[in-house]
Chain A
Amino acid sequence: MVKLVFLGKFRGEGRDDLAVPPNVMTLADLKDWLAHRDPALGEALAATRTHVVLNQELVHDMALPIGDGDEVAFLPPMSGG
């Protein structure tokens, strides 16, 4: 099971508990699957400055495989300080 984390404005009721189906095998698949389920979220995630974090590491290659035990987080533009 892949664990999902949505931060900042990507947070949404029940989003972190979504059950990712086994045919979602890469980060790109995951983005497509999320966009299909929730077009508004898909559009927000497609924005250029969305960061993807896989198992606590920032990643850029959406072809990376994901599977059981992985944690994927979606981060909007940061606004700290």
Chain B
Amino acid sequence: MDIRIAPEPFDPQIEEAGFTAGRRDIGAVVSFTGVCRERTNGEGVGELFLDHYPGFTEKEIARIAADVAERSQCPEIKVVHRVGRLTPGEPIVLVVALSEHRANAFEAVRLLMDYLKTDAPLWKRETGPGGDRWIEPRAEDIARRAKADA
């Protein structure tokens, strides 16, 4: 398990390559990268700020990842999450799961993203034409998380 909070931009391909280097025992690498969008609901986003609680945020993401690793039977998980100021086009989050067969890695990545959206101690603030706005979790994210729980 490899959990990291990144205050600076990161390259998902380099991160993934580092995680899989030298591994001959795995048959599946599944990764997801979330990227800062230029537009949200038709409105332009100039900048995104991701607030976090140092120490606690890392600890909670590690707890979520451990839980998902157990549920999906996929212990090899890497999470890199950006914090601070981001501009459109920059990666926000990378999740990589490695497993012998693909089903476990797919399941791990899907569950991780469902939980990270609603349970990771991170807070987004968008700066657009109308000024700054803190983002609340979307109803569909909460619904997806509830489904992941089932």
Which residues of chain A have a CB within 8 Å of any CB of chain B?
5, 7-9, 11, 53, 56, 73, 75-81
Residues of A contacting B121 in the complex (Cβ-Cβ under 8 angstroms): 7, 75, 78, 80
Instruction: Give 1 or 0 for each of B114-136: 1 = CB within 8 Å of chain A CB.
Output: 00111111111100000000111
Query: In the complex the two chains form, what is the Cα distance from A7 to B54 in whole Å?
Result: 11
Taken together as a complex, chains A and B put the C-alpha atoms of A78 and B136 apart, in Å, by: 7
Name B93's closest neighbour in chain A (CB-CB).
A81
**15 A-B interface contacts by CB (under 8 A):** A5-B53, A56-B59, A77-B136, A78-B119, A78-B120, A78-B123, A79-B123, A79-B136, A80-B116, A80-B120, A80-B124, A81-B34, A81-B116, A81-B120, A81-B122
The 5 closest A-B pairs by CB, nearest first: A8-B123, A80-B122, A80-B120, A9-B134, A81-B117
Provide the residues of chain A in CB contact with B122, threshold 8 Å.
78-81
Q: Give the complex CA separation of A75 and B135 in angstroms.
A: 13
Query: What is the CA–CA distance of A81 and B81 in the complex, to the nearest angstrom?
Result: 8
Query: In the complex, which residues of chain B have a beta carbon less than 8 angstroms from the beta carbon of A76?
Result: 123, 134
Which secondary structure characterizes the binding site on chain A? Answer: loop
Interface centre among B92, B117, B137 (most CB of A within 10 A): B137
Chain B residues close to A by CB (< 8 Å): 34, 50-53, 55-56, 59, 81, 92-93, 113, 116-125, 134-137, 141
Provide the bound-state CA to CA distance between A8 and B34, in Å.
20
A78, B120: Cα distance in complex, Å: 6
Contacts of B134 in A (CB 8 A): 8-9, 76, 79
Give the distance in Å from the alpha carbon of A7 to the alpha carbon of B138 in the complex: 19
In the assembled complex, which residues on chain B have CB atoms less than 8 Å from the CB atom of A11?
Answer: 51
A78 / chain B contacts, CB cutoff of 8 Å: 118-123, 137
Bound complex: CA of A80 vs CA of B136, how far in Å? 10
User: In the complex, which residues of chain B have a beta carbon less than 8 angstroms from the beta carbon of A80?
Assistant: 50, 81, 93, 116-117, 120-124
Assembled-state Cα–Cα distance A75/B123 (Å): 9
Q: Shortest CB–CB separation between residue A3 and chain B, in angstroms?
A: 12
A-side contacts of B123, CB under 8 Å: 7-9, 76, 78-80
CA distance A11 to B55 in the complex (A): 18
